[in-house]
Structure 1
Amino acid sequence: MLGLVVLSRLVAPATPIDEIVVDPARQVGEVPPFIYGQFLEHIYNSVVDGLWGQLVRGPSFEEAPSTVPEGWTLVNGSWNIEGDEIFVTRPQSDAHILCGDPGWGDYTFAVQAMKKGGPEGFLILFRATDENNFC
C-alpha cells in the first residue's frame, strides 16, 4: 500500500506555473486624468479614515501662540513669532530654545523645522537641564 502512495505522487501531473506576460507595444487601458499627480501614503490613518482621520487625529484645533509659550526660554539671537512659527530674525552664535521640564519621563515631542541659511548648524536636543547641560 505504501508503494502505491509513493508511485501515485511520482506520476501525478506537476502544478502549473503561473505566468505574467507584458507586451509594451499593446495598450490595454487608460489612466484616468483625475489621478495624475496624486500621491498617497498609508500613514496616519489617511487611507482608512480619509479626511476624517486627518481632522480628528491630526493637528490641533488650538490657535497658535502669539507670545513665547510659558516654560520656554529663548537663548541668544533675536526671535520672532508669526502664526505657528518661531524663528531667529538676527542670528547669533548658539541661538536656541529651551522648553519642557528635565524631570519629564516618557513623552512625545514633535517638531517641523527648516534651516533656511546661515553659518550655524541645526540641532534638536532632548532632556536639556539648562543651556550648558544636555544629553
Structure 2
Amino acid sequence: MRKGIFLIGSCVFGVVVGGCGEVNINTQQVQQMAESGLNTVSESTKEFLKTNEYAQKAQEIGNQVIETTVNKANERSAKVKDNAQQLGNQAVEGATNFLSGARHEVETQYQNMKQQAKDSVKNDLNARVNKVFESF
C-alpha cells in the first residue's frame, strides 16, 4: 500500500514539477485546443448574429406591415365616415324635400277643400234664397 501511495505522490509531484507520463501536455496542443474552441464559439456567434439579424429584419418588416395596415385602416375609416356623412346629408335633404312637398300638397288640398266648402255653402245659400223669392 505504501508503494502505491509513493507512486501516486511522485506522479503528482512530477506533474507539478515537470510532468508525469502522459499528463504532460505541450503548449502547442493547448493552443490548438483553445483555437478550436474559439473557432467553434466564433462560428456559433456568427450564426447567432445572423439569426438575430434575420429576426430583427423580420421584426422591422412586421412593424412596417402593422403600420401600413393601421394607416390603410384609418384611411378607409375616414372614407367610410365621409361617405356615411354624405349619405346622411342626402337622406336629410331628401326627407326635407319630401316633407316640403307633402306640406305643399296638404296645403293645396286644404285650400281646395276650403274653397269647395265656401262654394258649397254659397251655392246652398243662393238656392235657399232663390226658393224664398220664388215663393213670393
Fold match by TM threshold 0.5: no
Name the structure with the higher helix share. Answer: 2
Which TM-score tier does this pair reach, normalised by the shorter chain?
under 0.3
Q: Tell me which of the two structures has the higher relative contact order, counting C-alpha pairs closer than 8 angstroms and 6 or more residues apart.
A: 1
Query: TM-score, normalized by length of structure 2?
Result: 0.20
